[in-house]
Amino acid sequence: MRLALVGATGLVGQKMIQVLEERKILPDEFLPVASSKSVGNEVDFGGKKHKVVAVEDAVKAGVDVAIFSAGGNTSLEWAPKFAETGAFVIDNSSAWRMHLECPLVVPEINADSITEHTKIIANPNCSTIQLVMVLKPLMDKYGLRRVVVSTYQSITGTGKAAIDQMSNERNGVEGKKVYPYHIDLNCLPHCDVFTDNLYTKEEMKLVNETRKILGDSKIGVTATAVRVPVMGGHSESVNVELKSPFNLDEVRHLLHHTPGVVVIDDPKREQYPMPLYQKDHDDVFVGRIRTDESQVNTLNMWIVADNLRKGAATNAVQILEYLLAAKLVH
């Protein structure tokens, strides 16, 4: 297998390299791709150093798979060019997620939407991934009517510049700002840009991507996305209205036996998921599972996941693993 990683020097790109190594996916040829200013630099992968190449050179090389983590504009321009050569593209940006011909994949849920003809495969938004991992088994068992989600999103979702901003603020250093306000000791109800309906793009991603992945455009979804000064991962407070009655013990048992989901839910022992402790894990963690006493057939939950791993790198690598297992890539 010949593998290109577009955006190899970025925060998520580096995490993808780490996950590939951990999961022992070592291609016969690895082409790290980055912007022109990084071309010629070296990237460590699989115990070897690999020179960074330009994206046009990677296209000419005729790779089998190209994983993108370089922003939507780059993906819109270059993903089709890789696909035209016969390569599968796994794209981590939002560029292709809502295209009808592109599957939006969380492997535990809908890997079978990938075929030999779906050359561009979209990796969902980080917040959406952890949400649908918990919603899917509930939907299958009880039916799903409505979801209200409030997110508490790590600054790492914005990238290295956001980490630098928070570090500078904590140390009293002036520097470049990527947020319109101070982030340290603060919460910003402003993830991505605002749209005409007064929701942000991040909030609308949660709405539209959840419906697409779960295959039901009638599910009511509403979201408020908040950026918080946290490094370990994203957290979500989720209120779920189901179509049929449930038993809390049954819900916990169901989620406990869902691959990729870990239940941490023991209030008497003060045990529940937290981003500080769920960092560097590939699973999605859920706790604070309780009945909404204000409305029938409704649950409250708290969901936490490392946004750089399951929310980005790990999910993309799992898609690659599916391509290999299904022998779509050799």
CATH number, domain containing residue 165: 3.30.360.10
User: Is the Cβ–Cβ distance between 178 and 158 less than 8 Å?
Assistant: yes
Q: How many angstroms separate the Cα of 270 from the Cα of each of 116, 265, 267, 291?
A: 48, 8, 5, 18
CA geometry: angle 200, 286, 249, nearest 5 deg = 130
Sign of CA dihedral 7, 10, 16, 20: positive
Digits of tens for pLDDT over the chain (330 positions)? Answer: 999 999 999 999 999 999 999 999 999 999 999 988 889 999 999 999 999 999 999 999 999 999 999 989 999 999 999 999 999 999 999 999 999 999 999 999 999 999 999 999 999 999 999 999 999 999 999 999 999 999 999 999 999 999 999 999 999 999 999 999 999 999 999 999 999 999 999 999 999 999 999 999 999 999 999 999 999 999 999 999 999 999 999 999 999 999 999 999 999 999 999 999 999 999 999 999 999 999 999 999 999 999 999 999 999 999 999 999 999 998
133 and 245 assigned to the same domain: yes
283 and 140 assigned to the same domain: yes
33 and 155 assigned to the same domain: no
Specify whether 256 is catalytic. no
Cα separation of 52 and 54, whole Å? 7
256 and 154 assigned to the same domain: yes
| Residue 154 lies inside a defined structural domain of this protein | yes
Map residue 146 onto helix, strand or coil.
strand
| Residue 111 lies inside a defined structural domain of this protein | yes
Instruction: Give, as one character, the DSSP assignment of residue 140.
Output: H
Whole domain around residue 39: which residue ranges? 2-124+312-325
Catalytic residue (choose from 50, 102, 191, 234): 234
255 and 321 assigned to the same domain: no
| Residue 75 lies inside a defined structural domain of this protein | yes
- CATH code assigned at 110: 3.40.50.720
| Residue 43 lies inside a defined structural domain of this protein | yes
| Strands of the 120-122 sheet, one edge to the other | 29-33, 2-6, 65-68, 88-91, 120-122
| Residue 147 lies inside a defined structural domain of this protein | yes
Cα separation of 209 and 98, whole Å? 7
Longest dimension (CA), the chain: 60
Specify whether 126 is catalytic. yes
- Residue 76 is encoded by which pair of tokens? 């819109």
| Residue 330 lies inside a defined structural domain of this protein | no
Cα separation of 165 and 176, whole Å? 7
101 and 144 assigned to the same domain: no
160 and 293 assigned to the same domain: yes
Cα separation of 186 and 89, whole Å? 37
Catalytic residue (choose from 102, 126, 191, 281): 126
102 and 179 assigned to the same domain: no
Task: Identify residue 293 by its one-letter amino acid code.
Answer: E
| Count of domains observed in the chain | 2
31 and 137 assigned to the same domain: no
134 and 113 assigned to the same domain: no
60 and 36 assigned to the same domain: yes
| Residue 217 lies inside a defined structural domain of this protein | yes
178 and 35 assigned to the same domain: no
Cα separation of 322 and 72, whole Å? 24
| Residue 69 lies inside a defined structural domain of this protein | yes
